[in-house]
A and B are shown apart, each in its own frame.
Chain A
Amino acid sequence: MLRESGSVNNTGIVMGNNKNLQPCKIFYKMATLKTVWLMLLFLFAAEVLTAIITPTMSYMFHKRINYDYLITGFVAALIVSLVVLSILLSLINMLSLERKKFINILNAMEDGVYIVSSDYSIEYINPIIEEEFGKRDGKKCYNYLHDRAEPCPWCNNQKVLSGQQIHTQVFCSKSNKTYELFDTSVITHNGDLSKLGIIHDITKRKQMDEEIKTINQKLQNRVEEEVAKNRTKDQLMFEQSRHISMGELLMNISHHWRQPLCSIGLSIQDIKEAYMYGELDEKYLDNNIKSAMSDLNDLSETLDKFRNLYTYEKEQTEFNASKAIDKAEVLISGYIKNMGIRIEKELDRSLIIKGFQNEFTQIILNILTNAKDKFEQKNIPDGIIRVKLNKDAATDRVIISVLDNGGEIPNDIINKVFEPYFTTKDTAQRTGMGLYMSKVIVEQNMKGTLSVRNSDGWCEFRIEI
């Protein structure tokens, strides 16, 4: 029955959920010292009774008092009472030893322990509590622990004594500390129900928690700051890349424009020449005008082509990939024609892909420009750019492969070509954003991949969509 009522220790104090408390109470009452005296008295009385009953019985049966019986009875009763007494004494001794042991444990604990009765009297405090709150001097718990004149409004005595175990945190203004509190009911040595409280000082832990919280908050702020910074940086990078593409646009246009401009200039000057040398007639004039007009049309067409490339596309469309590649080739032709670079195309003209067509054309233009720059930088006169477009039957993806014979990319930089601001070129000419932006667009807008590899002296840029 004891075990059912909770965890038992040998001190006679039962802690825990004391629902089955009532039947045990008598037992515990019996274990008190008062009871021991009562029992001794009872035994003594029994002995005297035996001493009287035994000769009386012998007289009744034998019609005389047998003194042998009397003495035997006395001796027997004495022995019995001595044995009982010694057993009781050893039990009391054991009990007090166990109590001592228990109190020692409580005293040695680093946590504060107190036992408070139902009328708020303090039955026990361990040295930790005493150290913290001073002598108890018969104070009630609310006065001793909280400096209050009446029971604390938050007092949980009722609940605890009805069998609940309570875990809670309390702040004590008297000690200015925060404690973790565990309250449970105990049966004290006199059999009454009292409240056993164990308090653990968590002020430091609390402080640490606060500090950690502060640190976390700071970290959080820091992360947010960095994220904001990065966003600004991305924004800047985006703006910069816009400037760059504007710059590239101008460069490309100027390459297309320079020769026709020169040619128009010469045609006009040539009219005066012909006049001076007496060669000018209507036919001569017509010829020169026709030639100049044709050049002017070229200039205008170039502008249209580039303007179309940089118009804003609202949404993704399905378009013919080979046509976009052709467009990129036309746009860069102003550059590469002069340099003797040849573009060889093997295009599957039926392939349709989805995305922003202009963006895609710009990516191809970026890759072609990259190859062109390499030829220029390395002074390679017979550059070949091979553009292949096909569908990979195994993966069902469209592959665009741009190979150039401008030499392999050194192993130490091949992993860096897609990093922003990376360039091997004259920094006045290039900013190192072209391939980076291309990769971002392929991966984010087209859900594809853009990779680079060397093969047999050629360098291949490969788009898979």
Chain B
Amino acid sequence: MSDTHAETVAYVAKTQYDPQPPPVASSGVLGWLTQNLFSSISNTIVTVLAIALIIYMLPGMIEWAVLHSVWNAESIRECREIITNAFGEGATGACWAVIHERFGQFMYGYYPPSLRWRPDLAAVLLIVAMVPVLFRTMRPLAVAMGVLLAAKALFAVYAELTGGNAELVGPTTIAAVIFGVLALVFGSEKTRPYWLWLTFAYPVAAYFLLWGGLGLETVESSRFGGFLLTAVIGVTGIAGSLPLGILLALGRRSNLPILKAICTIFIEFIRGVPLITLLFVASTLLNYFLPPGTNFNIVLRVLIMVTLFASAYMAEVIRGGLAALPKGQYEAADALGLDYWQSMRLIILPQALKISIPGIVNTFIGLFKDTTLVSIIALQDPLGLMKPILSNSTWNGIVWELYIFIAFMFFICCFAMSRYSMFLETRLRAADRR
């Protein structure tokens, strides 16, 4: 039977062919290009325009920011002189020397230089406090401490080479070594509850480290500034708004009418008022309502306002997560005989919070960037610090360098938060598949 058609068919494959590479146009670099950048006429036009734009802008930017930049100068005039001497009349370049000179101010504001190890130590402890919350094991902490020590060593070498002096062994180094070793030895998942106690103790430790007390010299909050202030406001707002937001969200969905009304009014009021208004209230009006002579710290007032503001937004994000859960989950929890808090803690919130992660992180990032608004009530956050620096005739005339530096620092923080959120989503999705 099979022979019948042997002559009618021109060719019959007798063996399995080796797999061939796909056509050139659909694989490799060329394939990626045709599929992604030149798949249609409109796509091609967009690609060409974008490349043209990059070619048009990039060389100028690199020339300004890198090739023609000046890192060491006493004043903007010296910067301009150096650039003119090196690259001819009319050349422009970035004068990063201002960042170099005012780096300490951008980091700590007017915090006394001799006490700056305290915010440093608070920052190290912040990492220690954050890792048990963010990860399952303590291994990332060991890595972070290692990176920190390496950075510190590099900085010391740099300082040695440029004639400055950086103390290598300080409180931060010791803390980093201790916690790094602890994390290596006792870093398994089982020890996490013990580490979490450190997290709960952190706010107290940070308060005394930053403001003083317990034998430490007191530091006026008017001396807080720069990214230290941003971090204090941002971290407090983030850490405070999540639990407050959860409570508010639960309250708003509660069956108790008065509690529900209070939570709803609070959330709607705060969401209906711009943050800047609340900051003005914190900075000026609150003074009138408090008994005269009360010295209610401006930074503390701002911290409270920012936390309340963020918690209202957080409450709505979490309420969205709660509403997204099927009713069956609530009923199942009730059917198991769990009381309200047990059912929330064990069944409802773990699921609701997981759904809300992108929204929560979004609120965090928004809050972190909103901290720059405090410059309007004259707190010395990085943006607020720009004005007194630029008013010094040594640097008057510089604009872009400072904005770029601040934007870069904010980008690092916000990008890190965003990546962590994606990491967390992936990890929790893996739990779904199990």
- The answer to whether A and B come from one shared complex is no
A residues contacting B by CB (< 8 A) are none
B residues contacting A by CB (< 8 A) are none
